[in-house]
Amino acid sequence: MGFTVTKSPSVLVPPSAPTPPGDLPLSSIDRTAAVRSLVDMMLVYDHGDNDPANFLKRALSMALVAYFPIAGRLVQSTPGDLHVACTGDGVWFVEAAADCTLQQVNNLELPRMIPKPDLLPSPPPEVDLESLIFLMQVTRFSCGGFVVSMRSSHVVLDGLGAAQFLKAIAEMARGLPALSTAPIWSRDSIPSPAKLPPRAPLLSFTSFPFITCSLDLSVESITKIKNQFISGTGHNCSTFDAVTALFWQCRTRAVGMDPAAEVSLGFAINIRHLLGRVLPRGGGGYYGNGVFPMAVRATCGVVAIAPLAEVVHMIRGAKERADVKFAGWMAGEEDEDSYRAAADYAACFVADWRTLGFSELDYGWGDPVNVVPLIDDCNLVASCILMRPPAPAQGVRLIARCVVKEHLAAFTDEVMKLTEDLY
C-alpha cells in the first residue's frame, strides 16, 4: 500500500528579534572539503501538540536569535574560501501531513515505506541549496505523532553542534526562559595550519550503488568482545572500539578483496578538549566543527583473519595517536591532508551518534521514539553510523551503507555469525 505526504510550500522562518548583520569567518576545520555536505536526519515522536509545525516554527524562530549565523547564508568570496553572511533571512521550513499512522510505516524503520524526498525539507527551486545552513520539516501523521526532519550544513555544524542547536529549539519549545548553553561562534580563534599539503585528488570519484541496512548488536555480544580484549591485553576497550572492530572485520570479509589489498577504516575524533585551549569559555557552547579524522590501514587478509581483539587494538592505537596527529596537522608537519577522505571500495568510515544528544531532544512530549540518519544518497564512501536502538532495546544499532547489493547478504551473515561465535 502506498502512502501520501502532502507538503505546504516552503516558508522562511526568521529570527524572532533583530540580529547582528555582517560576515563571519569559518575555521580552518570548517573549510575542509571533507565537511562540505548536508547531513539529513529525522526524529520520530509518537505524540505531541495538536499543531506541532506552528509550535516548532515559533521555537525555531526564538532559537535563531542566539544562533543568528544559522539564519544567514554560506557565501564563497574566492574559490574555496567560504564565510557566513549574517543576512537574517531565516531557515526554510516545510509543514507536511501523511495519510497514515506511524504504526503503519513501522516508525520509519527500514525498509522505509515513505520515500526520503517526501520526508525532507527543500527550498523553492530558485534557491541555491548549497548556500543554506539549516532546513526543517515537520510531518504530522494521522495518529497524532509527528516527524521532525532536518538538513544541516556540515560546514557550520558538526554532530555535536547540530545537537546543541536542536537542543536550543527544544528548550524554547518547552518554555525555558533562557538557553542552558549560550552559543559561541569564535571560528577565528582557531588557528589555521602552518601549511596545508598539496591537495591530492580523491582515490576515486566512483559512485557505488550501496545498500542501506540496519543491524542491532546486543549488550551481551558487545560485552563478550570487551571481555576478550581484557583477557588478551589486560586493558579495557570502549563500546565504540568493540563495535567498530566487529563492523570492519565483517565488512572486510564480505567484500572478499585480494588478501594483499589494503583496506582502510576512518572515523572522527572529538578534539574539543584541544580547541578549548584557544576558544572562549574553554570552548563551552562552541558549535562548529571540532573533529579530526583518523584512519587505520591494513591488508585485507590481516583484517579478515586477525583475532577480533587485534582489530580492536588497531583502532585504539589510532585513537591514542589523534592528539599528536592533530598537532602535527596544525603545525604543517603532515605530508598528506588528513581531512581528504579516501573514496574507493576498499575504504569505509564509521561515525558514532550515540552520545551526541539526538535521542534526548524533548520538545515537550518526551524523547523521540526513533532517530533516523538519512544516508540513502551517500554513495562515494562506504559508511556506518552507530546509534542507540529505539527504547527499550539496549545495545548498539548499526545503520550501514557500506556494501553493494551482491555483498549485502555476506555482510549481514558475517555480523550474525561473528556475534553467535562470541557465545
Q: What is the pLDDT of residue 332?
A: 81
Tell me how crowded residue 405 is: count the other CB atoms within 10 A of its CB.
9
Q: How far apart are CA 83 and CA 245, in angstroms?
A: 38
Q: What is the pLDDT of residue 2?
A: 83
Q: What is the pLDDT of residue 201?
A: 47
Q: How far apart are CA 80 and CA 65, in angstroms?
A: 28
Stretch 45-55: mean pLDDT: 92
Residue 202 has pLDDT above 50, yes or no: no
pTM of the predicted structure, to 2 decimals: 0.94
Q: What is the pLDDT of residue 140?
A: 97
Banded model confidence at residue 330, pLDDT cuts 50, 70, 90: confident
Please, what are the domains in the chain? 5-183 (3.30.559.10), 210-421 (3.30.559.10)
Q: What is the pLDDT of residue 12?
A: 98
Quote the mean pLDDT of the chain: 93
Catalytic annotation, pick one of 154, 313, 352, 407: 154
Summarize pLDDT for 57-86 with one digit per residue, the tens: 999 999 999 999 999 999 987 776 899 999
Catalytic annotation, pick one of 89, 362, 367, 376: 362
278 near 186, Cβ under 8 Å?
Answer: no
Q: pLDDT over 70 for what percent of the chain? A: 94
Site of grid cell 558538526: 158
Q: Is the peptide bond before 392 cis (omega within 30 degrees of 0)?
A: yes
Q: What is the dihedral of CA 9, 83, 63, 87, to 10 degrees?
A: -60
Residue 213 has pLDDT above 90, yes or no: yes
Q: What is the pLDDT of residue 341?
A: 61
Q: What is the pLDDT of residue 196?
A: 59
Q: What is the pLDDT of residue 200?
A: 47
Q: What is the 3-state secondary structure (H, E, C) of 247-266?
A: HHHHHHHHHCCCCCCEEEEE
Summarize pLDDT for 274-302 with one digit per residue, the tens: 999 999 999 999 999 999 999 999 999 99
Picking from 189-203, 229-243, 284-298, 351-365, which range would have the lowest pLDDT averaged per residue? 189-203
Q: How far apart are CA 284 and CA 120, in angstroms?
A: 31
Active site residue 154: yes
Site of grid cell 551482491: 406
Residue 401 has pLDDT above 60, yes or no: yes
Q: What is the pLDDT of residue 193?
A: 86
Strand-pairing partners, residue 212, are: 401
Residue 216 has pLDDT above 80, yes or no: yes
18 near 24, Cβ under 8 Å?
Answer: no
Residue 204 has pLDDT above 60, yes or no: no
Site of grid cell 542566539: 66
Summarize pLDDT for 132-174 with one digit per residue, the tens: 999 999 999 999 999 999 999 999 999 999 999 999 999 999 9
Q: What is the pLDDT of residue 203?
A: 45
Summarize pLDDT for 232-281 with one digit per residue, the tens: 899 999 999 999 999 999 999 999 999 999 999 999 999 999 999 999 99
Active site residue 362: yes
